[in-house]
Structure 1
Amino acid sequence: MSCIPSDLFLADTEEKYLVPYAVAPEYPQAILTLLQKTKPDFLHLQNDFEVQAISRLREQVEALGVKLFLPASDTVENCIDKYKSYNIWSQAGIKVPETIMLHTPEDLKLAFETFGPKVWVRAVTGGGGRWALPTDNFDFGKLWIDRFQGWGECTAAACLTSQSITWLSIWYEGELVVAQTRRRRSWNFGNRTLSGVTGITGVAETCSDTIVDQVAQDSILAIDPKPHGIFGVDMTYDQQGWPNPTEINIGRFFTTHYFFTKAGLNMPEIYSNIALEEKFPTLDRKINPLPNGLVWIRGMDVEPVMTTVEEMEKMEQCQL
């Protein structure tokens, strides 16, 4: 199902359904009617707004006999809203970039005075670098927020580095099932945005770091002492080289999860087996079971390619 008609042409499925946007007032009734008609065993979402919408409808969905594998309602709300996440982490003593809500231009001035000379502006909700802007110019920052009518819906934070890493994990009633770390080497089409962020990872690399493992788990447990479902912790390194959590992608996989499947760790299969049958995997290691140094390269209108860091470095040295 999709809210965009043209996307349905790309779906390799037997049945295709057009639904309203998850934030539309008619979405709840439309989705419940669809579930009643199709009677699926299990429902999974891959969009923040849909995860939130279905989380708020979970009792009605489950009453129709449809299984869900979602974190607690409060957890979903606290992760979808990045400023709520920030406050929880800050109060828990987890190192995060200082952040303030932007309700008025005066708040933006305060951000420059406090975090300057450059600040990072972004929307409180949504993915793909929504409204993201690094800027050292107050007037430009104000015009940017005005353009999106974003006052009260975005934050300003101290700028970190461009280096980011993600810890994707599945939990069951407070117990970690599996987690794998992926470093982002580049964004696709990042040179076409002001922020450099697109939400489309171009080159990713498997890696492991005990500090990242601990920061990710601390970040999750600060928000939910009994995690359940999918938690993808995005972290960005500060100037001292420490990974700061910036958001948790909650209840959904990131877009390059097939990378892990191709490498031998099929997290969607693990997730589905648990949701449908409470069947758990047998793994040599729960954390970072994949080898370091595998690389996943994505483009547009081409199949992704998996290679290694060594092969990448050889290619980089071939420049004429």
Structure 2
Amino acid sequence: MKKRVVRALVTGAGTGSSANLIRALRAMSPKPHVVGVNHDRFFLRLSIADANYLTPDPDGGEFTDALLEIIRRERIDVVMATNDNVVKVLSDHRRRYKIDLLLPRRETIDLCQDKYALTEFLRRRNVPVPRTFELKSLRSLNGIFARFSNEGLLWCRTRRGSRSLGATPVANIAQARSWITQWRDLRGVKVSDFTLAEYLPGRHFMVHSLWYKGTMLRTQAVEVLSYFAAGNNPSGIFSMCSLAKTVAAPEAVKVTLRAVEALEKAPTGAFFVELKEDADGVPAITEINAGRFPSGVTALLAVGRDNMVASFAAAAAGEKVSVAAEPHGSAAEYYMVRDIDAVPAVFPAEELLE
């Protein structure tokens, strides 16, 4: 029986995140019809989708109405969000959609978008997370630093937001106070939006898993090797990687699956988990992005026959999707390298020896 063409809608059309998703979708057979949407008319000009629509800003009330009309007009089967703001909007209005959004529960999405609340939730369930404290006021700094007993660097960041918003290592109270007040005074970020946590110096993993009604279809671990603009910020770390590789990381995968199963009894959808190792090599979860694919390493999730992006689209479209041949991730080592204004390149490790 001839398979029908999946009709997919991708938000953030024209951005690198949307382009990565679209290229992964086009590995499907037959190739899907892809519709791109964006509220920014300039980025929309860069879209590689088959059809494109300008929408209202997702933060406004008119976005959902516009999206529903596009879905109706284009006969869309699957919607794929590219950032947490759109995931939140889709989640909050999920009952208005007649198609399966393949999203985790609303409570899960809201929890994961508050990094401190998520850390506390996982800690109470014995899932490894860094010791983390919320900041009530600048006066809280003395007490928080005292709890760490001069153990070295602490990691300072905001409890909400993406792309390493407000994140930096700090060595003492003076540095933390200066960093936080600068964000408060120049960017309007509240002091109470910041947290301080133990600094994890080890390897940085991204583990993505795809679930359908309690069945884990596939997971894949990726190790981040270098970052964009690493030399332009105090930490040398940024949420966007420039070089990464697929790895077999059984401990990181184990922690990831424990976390997802703690969040949901019957998980459904995409879960993107970031972890760092402590000084002893034990991975701990630093954040979870529920309901979307990562913006940077999507190409590594589409390698080979177990294309996770294609599996998501097929499942959302109502097709039967089997558990991957290697459900806990491929042991084959693939590298992904990317740069600004360049299409990400993926190649097997053996090509480095040619």
Would you call these one fold, judging by a TM-score over 0.5?
Answer: yes
What corresponds to 1:75 in structure 2?
108
Which deviations, in whole Å up to 9, do the C-alpha atoms of 1:115-170 show, x marking residues without a partner?
24321111111221111011113223223222332312121101111521111110
Partner Cα distance (1:242, 1:12) in 2: 41
Q: 2:301 aligns with which of 260, 266, 270?
A: 260
Give CA-to-partner distance per residue, 1:199-246, whole Å, 9 cap, x none: 211111111132222111111112222211001111100011100011
- Are 1:146 and 2:181 counterparts? yes
Q: How does 1:234-245 map to 2 (within 5 A)?
A: 234-245=274-285
Contact 1:186 1:201 in 2 (8 A): yes
Aligned 8 A contact 1:163 1:237 in 2: yes
Query: Who is 1:280 aligned against?
Result: 321
Equivalent position to 1:19, from 40, 53, 56: 56
Whether the 8 Å contact between 2:155 and 2:197 is mirrored in structure 1 is yes
Deviation at residue 179 of structure 1 after TM alignment: 0.7
- Which aligned pairs between 1:1-320 and structure 2 lie closer than 5 A? 1-13=37-49, 14-20=51-57, 22=58, 24=59, 27-39=60-72, 40-60=76-96, 62=97, 65-115=98-148, 116=150, 117-148=152-183, 149-255=189-295, 256-281=297-322, 283-288=324-329, 290-309=330-349, 312=352
The normalised TM-score by structure 2 is 0.81
Q: Equivalents in 2 of 1:4, 1:194: separation in Å?
A: 31
Q: Deviations over 1:73-93 (max 9, x none)?
A: 111111111111101111011
Range 276-285 or range 84-93, more displaced: 276-285
Cα-Cα RMSD: 2.0
**How far apart are the structure 2 equivalents of 1:38 and 1:95?**
40
* Partners of 1:123 and 1:150 within 8 A in 2: no
Measured against aligned partners, the alpha-carbon deviations of 1:53-76 in whole angstroms (never above 9, x if no partner) come to 22111112x2xx243110011111
> Which one-letter code corresponds to 1:266 in the other structure?
N
SS in 2 for 1:270: helix
> Once structures 1 and 2 are overlaid, which stretch shifts more, 259-268 or 194-203?
259-268
For 2:24, the equivalent position in structure 1 comes to none
% identity of equivalent residues: 24
Residue of structure 1 equivalent to 2:17: none
- Tell me the distance in 1 between the aligned counterparts of 2:41 and 2:202: 35
**1:282 and 1:247, CA in 2 relative to 1: closer, same or farther beyond 3 A?**
closer
Secondary structure of the 2:38 match is coil
Query: 3-state DSSP class of the match of 1:86?
Result: helix
Do the aligned partners of residues 37 and 311 (structure 1) sit closer, same or farther apart at CA in structure 2, a change above 3 Å counting?
closer
Contact 1:205/1:292, CA 8 A, preserved across alignment: no
Question: In structure 2, what is the Cα distance between the partners aligned to 1:71 and 1:110?
Answer: 37
Q: Which runs of 5+ in 2 are unaligned?
A: 1-36, 184-188
- Identify the range of structure 1 (193-202 vs 35-44) with the bigger mean alpha-carbon deviation: 35-44
Q: Residue 318 of structure 1 corresponds to which residue in structure 2?
A: none
**In 2, Cα distance between equivalents of 1:91 and 1:29:** 39
Paired residue secondary structure (2:52): coil
- Cα gap change, 1:311/1:118 in structure 2, threshold over 3 Å: closer, same or farther? same
Structure 1 pair 108–4 and aligned structure 2 pair: CA distance change class (3 A): farther
Conserved in 1, the CA contact under 8 Å of 2:299 and 2:336? no
- Normalising to structure 1: TM-score of the pair? 0.89
1:2 Cα shift? 2.2
